[in-house]
């Protein structure tokens, strides 16, 4: 039982990170039909913004974190929207998919060539303390990851549901044509989702890098996990992405312990296929009215 709890907590902490990446993934899809194959690299990159600020500019960690978030908003939010997505949005989904695949190569190789091919240690926001609760070892970092991730998610939900801009964004996501008729500044709302995605990616990056270590190739597994989480949860629901992310994190750990370590990656994917076949709208998704 203690083992099970241990796995559950570890899985939830990893899953919370996946959820952050999956939410952004879902938001981009909803508002601009962007399937972002570089989402994993978006989570990899902000840690390097922070590292550059610390090692090249000699800034303290707290400042570096702020710089990482701002740089992410500029590069992964604004520039991504204007330079990559905007020119392609009228061309249909496939050219944009190809472009994001190329972008993932660009970011990965760029970090490798400019910074380092080596894994880098990354400072943690939380002190290195391990608590023992009922035979379960829980590090403060794990608790911190869960708290910050859930805090971010709650804040996002509040923003989307309770503020005027948030509701306009939701309207844009559900039906841009109607939203435009109703006077919603659709273009600006789309830009906001890109900025939110960038902030979520930066949060995920700063939370996960102390555990994963910052490395140019981290995006490969993260991107896949976010993708799977988004589909499992329902591609059109922020809540779905959260559940999907947590589920993938937990299932991965349970699979490693109780199924087979060499096939641990297979279990979330089999779950994905089962969901597509039996509940294609995802766990929490609505049936989409429009033809996708």
Partner 1 sequence: MKRATLLGLAFALGLAMPVMAQDTIKIPNIIELSGGGATVGNNWKNGSQLAAEEINAAGGILGKKIRLEFVDTASDPGKARAAVQRALDEEPIAIFGPIYSGSVSATLKLTADAETAQIMGGEAANLTAQGSKYLFRTSFGQNVSMPKIANYLRDEVKAKSVAVVYVNNDFGKGGRDAIIKELKERNIAVAADLSTEAGQADFAADVIKLKGANADAIFVYLNEEESARFLREAKKQGLNRPLIGETTLLGQKVIDLAGDAADGVKGHVGLTVDAPIPAIQEFGRKFQARYNYKPDHNGVKGYIAVYMLKAAAEKAGKLQPKAIAAALHGLTITPDKTPGILIEATWDDTGEIDRISFLGEVKDGKQVITQILPKLKK
Partner 2 sequence: MISPRLAWLLVALGALMLVLAPIDLTGIGIPYPGLKRYGTYIMTLWLVTAIAAMGVNLIVGYAGLETLAQAAFVGIGAYVTALMVKAGWPFGLAFLASGVAAFAVGIMLGFPALRVRKHYLAFVTLAFSVLAWLVFRNEQWLTGGVMGIGDISRPTLFGHTLRRHVDFYWFVLAITAVLTFALWWIIRSPWGRAFTALRENPIRAESLGVDVRLYTLLAFAIGSAYGGLAGSLYAPLVEFIDPNPFALGPSLLFMLMVVVGGAGRFAGPFVGAAVAVLLPEWLRFAEGFYLLIYAVLVMTMMAFCPTGIMGLAERLLPARRRPTAAATAPLLGEAKP
Measured over the CA atoms of residue 203, residue 207, residue 210 and residue 214, the dihedral's sign is negative
Cα separation, 277 vs 271, in Å, equals 10
| Interaction between residue 177 and partner 1 (CB under 8 A) | no
Q: Which of 216, 240, 242, 244 binds partner 1 (CB under 8 A)?
A: 216
Answer yes or no whether residue 88 interacts with partner 2 by CB under 8 A.
yes
Binder among 55, 66, 113, 163 for partner 2 (CB under 8 A): 113
Q: What pairs with residue 132 in β-bridges?
A: 137
Distance of CA 148 to the CA centre of its chain: 14
CA distance 99 to 38: 9
DSSP 57: S
Please identify, using beta-carbon distances, which residue of 26 and 139 lies nearer to partner 1: 139
Instruction: Find the part of the chain contacting partner 2 (CB under 8 A) among 4-12, 13-21, 120-128, 270-278.
Output: 270-278
Pick from 178, 285, 238: nearest CA to 25:
238
Query: How many residues can be counted in the chain?
Result: 292
Find the part of the chain contacting partner 2 (CB under 8 A) among 92-100, 142-150, 157-165, 192-200. 92-100
DSSP structure class, residue 290 = S
37 makes contact with partner 1 (CB under 8 A): no
Q: Does 167 bind partner 1 (CB under 8 A)?
A: no
**Which three-class secondary structure state does DSSP give residue 116?**
coil
Q: Are 218 and 44 in contact (CB under 8 A)?
A: yes
Nearest of 202, 149, 198 to residue 19 by alpha carbon:
149
Helix axes 2-32, 39-51, angle to 10 degrees: 100
Q: Identify the residue among 158, 259, 263, 286 touching partner 2 (CB under 8 A).
A: 263
Give me the least distance between CB of 257 and partner 1, in Å please.
Answer: 4
Contacts of 230 (CB under 8 A, 6+ apart): 22, 25, 26, 29, 240, 241, 244
By DSSP bridging, strand 136-139 and strand 130-133 are antiparallel
Tell me which residue has tokens 């993708």: 227
Which position among 7, 76, 224, 250 is part of the footprint of partner 2 (CB under 8 A)?
Answer: 224
90 binds partner 2 (CB under 8 A): yes
Residues numbered 237 to 276 that lie near partner 1 (CB under 8 A) are 252-254, 256-257, 261-262, 264-265
Query: Which does residue 252 touch among partner 1, partner 2, none (CB within 5 to 8 A, set by kind)?
Result: partner 1
Least separation in angstroms between residue 118's CB and partner 1 is 6
Q: Which residues of the chain form contacts with partner 1 (CB under 8 A)?
A: 3, 6-7, 10-11, 14, 109, 112, 116-119, 121, 128, 130, 137, 139, 208, 211-213, 215-218, 220-221, 252-254, 256-257, 261-262, 264-265
Q: Which residues would be at the binding site for partner 2 (CB under 8 A)?
A: 32-33, 37, 84, 87-99, 101-103, 105-106, 109-110, 113, 176-177, 220, 224, 227-228, 231, 262-263, 265-266, 269-270, 272-273, 276-277, 280, 291-292
């Amino acid at each position: 039982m203690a083992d099970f709890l241990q796995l559950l907590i570890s899985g939830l902490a990893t899953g919370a990170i996946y959820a952050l990446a999956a939410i952004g993934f879902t938001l981009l899809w909803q508002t601009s039909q962007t399937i972002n194959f570089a989402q994993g690299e978006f989570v990899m990159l902000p840690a390097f913004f922070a590292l550059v600020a610390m090692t090249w500019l000699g800034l303290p960690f707290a400042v570096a974190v702020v710089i990482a978030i701002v740089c992410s908003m500029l590069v992964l939010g604004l520039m991504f929207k204007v330079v990559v997505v905007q020119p392609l949005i009228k061309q249909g989904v496939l050219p944009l998919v190809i472009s994001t695949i190329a972008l993932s190569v660009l970011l990965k190789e760029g970090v490798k060539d400019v910074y380092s091919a080596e894994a880098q240690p990354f400072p943690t926001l939380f002190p290195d303390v391990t608590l023992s609760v009922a035979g379960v070892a829980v590090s403060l970092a794990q608790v911190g990851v869960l708290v910050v991730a859930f805090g971010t998610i709650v804040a996002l939900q509040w923003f989307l549901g309770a503020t005027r801009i948030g509701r306009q964004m939701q309207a844009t996501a559900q039906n841009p044509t109607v939203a435009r008729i109703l006077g919603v500044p659709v273009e600006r709302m789309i830009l906001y989702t890109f900025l939110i995605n960038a902030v979520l990616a930066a949060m995920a990056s700063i939370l996960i890098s102390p555990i994963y270590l910052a490395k140019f190739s981290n995006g490969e597994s993260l991107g896949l996990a976010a993708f799977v989480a988004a589909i499992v949860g329902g591609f059109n629901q922020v809540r779905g992405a959260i559940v999907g992310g947590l589920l993938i994190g937990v299932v991965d750990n349970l699979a490693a312990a109780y199924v087979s370590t060499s096939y641990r990656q297979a279990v979330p994917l089999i779950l994905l296929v089962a969901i597509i076949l039996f509940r294609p709208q995802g766990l929490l998704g609505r049936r989409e009215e429009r033809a996708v």
